Amino acid sequence: MRQYVSEAVIRRLPAYYRHLCALEAEGVLQISSGDLGERMRQTPSQIRQDINCFGGFGRQGYGYNVTELKNEIRRILGLDEEHAMIIIGAGSIGSAVAHYPSFVREGFRTLALFDIDPAKIGTTVNGIPVLSMDSLPDWLKTNRADIAVLAVPADRAEDVCGRLEACGIGAVWNFAPVDLEGKGGGAAIVNVHMSDSLHILSYKMRHR
């Protein structure tokens, strides 16, 4: 039976991976929970609790082997295998995702974009073809897509998400300004609200 891991811990994993990659690039071979916590502004006990959710990767009196821990978190995050992506919506957000260089380096490869705008269909974005949304079901019969990036207006997001689930898409990265929960298709959904960080920054400016 899989151990329950809280959403808070899951959300901290990418930060662990990012810092461990930086430490490895700096030539650091080992690090204690105290030093890692100081770098990440977390308490040592929080570091140990989070990492212990997935196994005992540290050694008392030694700490963590940076490369070993980085590779374990990489595996836990599923970054040790390639993920095929499609993008629904070839507008500004969809195009920005298609152009983002680190996604390919991290194993997220975009195969196609889909749109309903005749002016965009048949063009390419960063060398990736823009296809008709009507062709999506047939395209998925002969192509594998693990993740769908949803970059459509809010009033279309729920319907498109339902269509993606019906086509067997297992994960949706939603950039539409609405929270989606899916329609029982079993897809994992992450809702991204880009303005949230800017609102937080505005708050900090007001209350600094």
Conformation bin of residue 127: beta by default, left when phi > 0, alpha when psi is -120 to 50: left
Q: d(Cα 208, Cα 192) in Å, to the nearest integer?
A: 26
List the chain domain ranges: 7-76, 83-196
**83-196: CATH topology:** Rossmann fold (3.40.50)
Strands of the sheet containing 188-191, edge to edge, are: 124-125, 128-132, 108-115, 83-88, 147-150, 171-174, 188-191
Q: For residues 161 and 156, give the distance between their C-alpha atoms in angstroms, rounded to a whole number.
A: 9
Question: At residue 1, does pLDDT exceed 50?
Answer: no
Tell whether the model's pLDDT for residue 170 goes beyond 50. Answer: yes
Share of the chain above pLDDT 90, in %: 80
What would the pLDDT profile of 12-25 be if each residue is shown by its tens digit? Answer: 999 999 999 999 99
Question: For 72-95, what is each residue's pLDDT tens digit?
Answer: 999 999 999 999 999 999 999 999
pTM over 0.85: yes
- Whether 30 and 64 have beta carbons less than 8 Å apart is answered as yes
Answer whether CATH 1.10.10.10 is correct for domain 7-76: yes
